[in-house]
Amino acid sequence: MSFQTWTKRIFQQIKGDNPFDGDCLPSRVPLFALGRPTSPIPLPWNYKEPIKIFEAFYSGTKNETGWGKHNRYLYAGGIPPVLVTRDPGIIKAIQADTGDKPGQFDRDTSPTAGIARATGEDSLLYANGSIWRRQKSLVAKPFSRSNLFQPQKFHGFEQTFRKTVKERLDVMRSLQVSTGEGKTRVALDSEIKVVMLEMLVNNFFGASVSYEELRDRYVPALVYMIDHMVRDTVAPRAQALARKFSGSEKTLQNHQVAFEDLTNIALAGRAQELGLWKEFKSDASDDALRSNIRVFLAGAMEATTSFATWAISHLSRNPEWQEKVYEEVKEMDIYDPDDFTGAPNLNQVLEETLRLTPALCFFPRRATVDTWVETSDHRRMMIPKDTHIRLDVWHSNRCEEFWGEDVTGYRADVFAPERWDVMKEKGLNAKEMLHFGFGHGPRFCPGRSLGLLEVGLVVGAIVKLFKFEAVHDHTGPSAGVSTKPADGVLVDLELRTDKN
């Protein structure tokens, strides 16, 4: 940043000039204020609570009229503005205008610096510009819907999945027999993680790693590394010092070795065209693919686990919907993709899960030049060069004005899959009513088909096999790289049948 730019910003900040322009101007967030849930700046004591940090941005907007209550900016210390928006029109416009063309928004890499250090800077998730474009085209075919939903490939997922569920079921049975109880109390989060990684490693990448090794070595390594990536983003020096003094450097190294071993295992299938590698045609060297493989392993396990655990968590507090889904899947071969897509209740539950509790609670973007965006209802906003943008989908999807009773027939902050019927009856267009669960525009999630398949299978099978009830009436979110139910999906499980 040049001295000239810095002084210009300092003057604007002192005078209180709004650096944005247009007819849906963001309003300014004070640096210090009483009564906020936390500071609007990530600090060592609140960095694990991004949802609360964003909440602080909207604090004190009761008297704001117009779009200033949904579009907010922080501007201090001579640094570029930070724009937080829960305005769906602006979120959509910025997403659509993110890419590698001159003047388009970049993904802001500042909230993911720790991810890049652990996985590599040239991954599809982290890179911008031409590197991102090349990575995107490399993964297009193996991830495509038409490819993944082919019956033989689907059959592969089914095999691993059935085997894993049976093993899980046997463990539950023995536990129930030993305790003599009809119900078992279990935190499903950790069970689901292993299943998700197993499908990815053994089916997608065609490896054959045992369930025990995934559970005991690779899942703990990925969980540790993901937590490390978050801490390493916020306070890298403090974290390095803390490791030195606590003697935990060795633990990090061991998990790094396991992460690399798993990356090698996933890559090893390429030469023999195992799993979906046979769809992958490229002259890129194995080393050039490493960063993406690491991102897929850690990111996909995180995102699919988040999605599936939220769905189970909601159903564990909604016996009515649990029964509706059960009635739909009980006689159905849930492992057939045609039947799966023909399960409207399950699909509605999944849609509502992504709306209310999206796996990624915000998307970071950065303005590369002064940029005008226009919403579909023709509002315009000029976003100054270098602005750090946080597209806050978590709060947007819970905003009464956009998703509440007047629009969808149900309160925005409750789990109500029925709202999707109301919206259909009202003719509300899916293209306008976006919940951004898989993003939007050029940086849309390439793993959507794979992820939906895995989550549909896991949730459908759990409902088919068990009745489950949440231990606590309510759970909040815990948010790291992705959001998850803070109670670890602690439920009382009861077997529905013993014939599977």
* Binding of residue 125 to ligand HEM (CB under 6 A): yes
Total residues belonging to the chain: 500
* Binding of residue 455 to ligand HEM (CB under 6 A): yes
Site for ligand HEM in 342-401 (CB under 6 A): 359-360, 363
3-state secondary structure of 40: coil
* Binding of residue 451 to ligand HEM (CB under 6 A): yes
* Binding of residue 300 to ligand HEM (CB under 6 A): yes
**Which ranges in 269-368 belong to alpha helices (H)?**
286-295, 301-316, 319-329, 337-341, 344-356
What's the rounded Cα separation, in Å, for the pair 58 and 27? 10
As to burial, measured by CB atoms within 10 angstroms (0-12 exposed, 13-18 middle, 19+ buried), residue 452 is: buried
What's the rounded Cα separation, in Å, for the pair 464 and 462? 5
What's the rounded Cα separation, in Å, for the pair 98 and 24? 20
User: By CB under 6 A, how many residues form the interface with ligand HEM?
Assistant: 24
* Binding of residue 20 to ligand HEM (CB under 6 A): no
Residue 136 or 317: the one with the smaller Cβ distance to ligand HEM is 136
Rounded to the nearest 10 degrees, the angle between the axes of helix 448-465 and helix 301-316 is 40
Residue 176 or 449: the one with the smaller Cβ distance to ligand HEM is 449
* Binding of residue 340 to ligand HEM (CB under 6 A): no
* Binding of residue 161 to ligand HEM (CB under 6 A): no
Q: Provide, rounded to whole angstroms, the least separation between the CB of residue 164 and ligand HEM.
A: 17
Site for ligand HEM in 78-117 (CB under 6 A): 107
Exposure b/e, 376-406, CB count within 10 A at least 16 = b: eeebebebbebbbbbbbbbbbbbbeebbbee
* Binding of residue 296 to ligand HEM (CB under 6 A): yes
* Binding of residue 124 to ligand HEM (CB under 6 A): yes
Q: Are 236 and 242 in contact (CB under 8 A)?
A: no
Task: Please give the radius of gyration of the chain, using alpha carbons only, rounded to the nearest integer.
Answer: 23
Residue 105 or 466: the one with the smaller Cβ distance to ligand HEM is 105
Select from 298-306, 406-414, 415-423, 473-481 the region that touches ligand HEM (CB under 6 A).
Answer: 298-306
Q: Provide, rounded to whole angstroms, the least separation between the CB of residue 364 and ligand HEM.
A: 7
**Which ranges in 199-235 belong to alpha helices (H)?**
211-213, 219-234
What's the rounded Cα separation, in Å, for the pair 315 and 459? 10
Q: Provide, rounded to whole angstroms, the least separation between the CB of residue 436 and ligand HEM.
A: 6
Residue 250 or 431: the one with the smaller Cβ distance to ligand HEM is 431
Half-sphere exposure for 481 (CA within 13 Å, toward CB): 27
One-letter identity of residue 324? K
Dihedral sign of CA atoms 403, 405, 409, 410 in order = positive
* DSSP conformation class of 299: I
Q: Which two three-digit tokens encode residue 465?
A: 């096999």
* Binding of residue 415 to ligand HEM (CB under 6 A): no
Q: Provide, rounded to whole angstroms, the least separation between the CB of residue 485 and ligand HEM.
A: 15
* Nearest of 402, 299, 407, 415 to residue 354 by alpha carbon: 415
Q: Provide, rounded to whole angstroms, the least separation between the CB of residue 303 and ligand HEM.
A: 3
What's the rounded Cα separation, in Å, for the pair 352 and 315? 11
* Binding of residue 481 to ligand HEM (CB under 6 A): no
Other CB atoms closer than 10 Å to residue 492's CB: what's the count?
Answer: 17
* Binding of residue 290 to ligand HEM (CB under 6 A): no
Work out which of 231, 388, 390, 443 binds ligand HEM, going by CB under 6 A.
Answer: 443
Residue 20 or 436: the one with the smaller Cβ distance to ligand HEM is 436
Q: Provide, rounded to whole angstroms, the least separation between the CB of residue 296 and ligand HEM.
A: 4
* Binding of residue 134 to ligand HEM (CB under 6 A): no
Q: Provide, rounded to whole angstroms, the least separation between the CB of residue 435 and ligand HEM.
A: 10
* Binding of residue 193 to ligand HEM (CB under 6 A): no
Half-sphere exposure for 326 (CA within 13 Å, toward CB): 19
* Binding of residue 485 to ligand HEM (CB under 6 A): no
Q: Which two three-digit tokens encode residue 9?
A: 């910003």
One-letter identity of residue 450? L
Residue 74 or 295: the one with the smaller Cβ distance to ligand HEM is 295
Q: Provide, rounded to whole angstroms, the least separation between the CB of residue 151 and ligand HEM.
A: 20
Q: Provide, rounded to whole angstroms, the least separation between the CB of residue 119 and ligand HEM.
A: 10
* Binding of residue 276 to ligand HEM (CB under 6 A): no
* Binding of residue 293 to ligand HEM (CB under 6 A): no
Binding site for ligand HEM (CB under 6 A): 107, 124-125, 136, 295-296, 299-300, 303-304, 307, 359-360, 363, 437-439, 443, 445-447, 450-451, 455
